[in-house]
Structure 1
Amino acid sequence: MTAVSQSGSAFRSAFRHRAFALFWTARVCSMLAIQMQVVAVGWQIYDMTSDPLDLGLVGLFQFLPSLALALFAGHVVDSHDRKRILFGALTTECVAVAGLFAATLVGALSPTAIFATVALIGVAKAFEGPANQALLSATVPLEDLPNAVAWQSSGVQVAQISGPALGGLLYIAGPAVVYGVSAAMLLVAVLLILATRPRPVTMVRRSMSWSTLLAGAAFIRSRPEILGAISLDLFAVLLGGATALLPIYARDILHVGPWGLGLLRSAPALGALVMAVAITRWGVRRHAGRWMLIAVAGFGVATILFGLSADPVLSFIALLAVGATDQVSMFVRQTLIQLSTPDDMRGRVGAVASLFIGASNQLGEFESGAAAAAIGAVPAVVAGGVGAVGLAVVWAWRFPALRQIDRLSETK
């Protein structure tokens, strides 16, 4: 991994730019809100139905709109004002979560309503993902971009730590409280984006065609190191992701309740934050590709440990390791994309990357829920961890360009 910076200069180089500071804060607020909402939705729907498949369906209904809209969203982001697109996406999410708040408050929330709402959030996420990735590069000069990537990742991890824990704590007062606070945080994010003044980027209005829609996919395919990094992350999290099953572990295996669920959901983000700070402080100066492959294998081992654990403390530690190893993979992937992608293609490349990320997260939740319904939660998690370890071995052989990446700063 590249040496992001030395000592505290990493913080100064990114946050001296007002546009990045506002963008970063908005990103943290929106992620904080979504993480709180996820805890409430997961516990509430499992409390309604006690069916592991429904936990998976929450992820599926959020992923399907992203799948359907990804290429179109990338084209739109590369042809229109990215700030306005991000503003619209966050506003839609705010309205959706406010709907959950109102429906819960009047006792009208049902599994069907939850599925419909997360599908609407999925529509917004289809545009938010590529808009976020494209707008980030316009908030700092190119020389500060690796620092911005690292600090944005750290901020997201802070939200992913505090969001679930806060959501679990607020759930004690009722799910309506969680949804209300989440909607308020999203509103703050909307206002911050309005105040952000990114560097102007020349937008080229393109007529829509299969060539323009598929340009992002074609670019990624032409860069085997990027394709290898994105696809490895996709399949590893798709197989090894256990977060969708945390309500089952919290209620039926570890017996820790909603507050414990919030802590479990925070654990991967805490591990990721520690790793992100370490990367920002020291970096990994050599053999970035090899470290990514080792990290994915470590992600699988930590997932196996979590799946087999019946002790809350050991489970928490295993999830810390899950997050720390995943952070290495995520940092390598994001930095490769940001440094390699031309400005006029950031939306379309970001859309494809967001689709892969959404598939690994939301579709992974459905896979985990379906597997748990078929063979049980513990076997499903353990099998996924074994699969992630196997993938790291196969990708090391299948994508030598990824394995041979040394310094990220040299990948242009």
Structure 2
Amino acid sequence: MSVPAPRPRPAVRPVVLGADIGAYATARTFHETFGAASVVLAGVSTWQVARSVAVDLRVVPGLTDPDRMVRAIADVVAEAPDVPHLLLASADWYVDALVARREELTGLPGEVVVPYAHTEAMARVSDKGAFTSLCRELDVPVPATAVIRAADGPDAAASLRFPVVVKAASTTAYHKVTFPGQRKVDRAADRAELAQVLARIDGGGFTGDLLVQEEVPGGDATMAAVNLFFGADGSWRFAQFGRVLLEEHTPGALGNSVAQVTGVDDVVVEQARRVLEHVGWRGFANVDVKRDPRDGVHRFLEVNPRVGRSGYAVTASGYDVARMYVDAFVHRTGAAGGVVGTNEHLFHVVPLGLVRRYVDDDDAALVRRLARSGAATNPLLYRAERDPRRWAAIAAAQLNQVRKFARHHPGRKQPGSYGR
């Protein structure tokens, strides 16, 4: 009687913290490349990660508690201790928790990989105030900025010209408080409005640093991002520029990209790479910038220290993020040198008709051209999915996007402010 051949050891078992589109897009990437269903740990079940062939969903109440997070990860690793486990996060606060508990996590029985930068590097870029100072140190353009506390009042930002934008220096710290009228980003047209914004934040109990920045003019199409990847040894391996076409405008999600075209901008890519190399970065990063139409200069705004939902644009355009992680952090293979992505591809998480409706005529034509050539991808529309309930949830969510834009977007058409 023949003995069955042993099953090959899986290349990796991804463990993703979070339950948003970014978590799903990451899971899809690993499923496409390795056939692996990522273990997704989430505080609640959401339609984005439920009923998916790419996701092994585990609902863990209280997951934002670091101790509970470590226990949940330990339980997952114990199920398959002979398989490499790659720990990823779809939100900044989960990244911070993984980095803070790295020693404990990598000490679990089995192979556990935390593919993020060390604590000092993370602090220098994740805190928006520290990041702004770092950019100034390296002569990388940033908006005029004042770092203040809400209790300081508007006089603490008296050196700035209005309008200004206001946001927490630490996304993680801001996530820990909840109050009426809380927004990801606030805008103030004058001193009186700034006083109202600061009073609301102060009254909500947030005592951390705030960034007050002179607003860089321009609509959604002046925004852009650079996705970068560094190996476990700090070697730069990949970078790609992406120009935003359309962003969300709901108060809680203001600024999240919903349509982006990958392309080329050597100057911005070099600046982003220089900043992250300076601090000794590891893993993935997404750097947000905005092109100032007054002088054509991209001003650096912040770093997301993780693969966000728009990180799937890298994979969709032909550069496999899952393979990058496994090669650099699991197999520890060397890199022959960094690659700059040049393929043009449209990433979107809303219907293409909606994108065309809210962009200028030139970008609407670009959307049509890329869609017709097959160079457009919505990560939610994964053909491997089979559950009709999941497809129904996606259809409802896409319809809801149409309603949200009709309610919150400032206008049906915006003049193109991105010079080409």
Shorter-normalised TM range = under 0.3
**Greater per-residue strand proportion:** 2
Structure with higher Rg: it is 2
TM-score of the two chains, using structure 2 as the length reference: 0.26
**Greater per-residue helix proportion:** 1
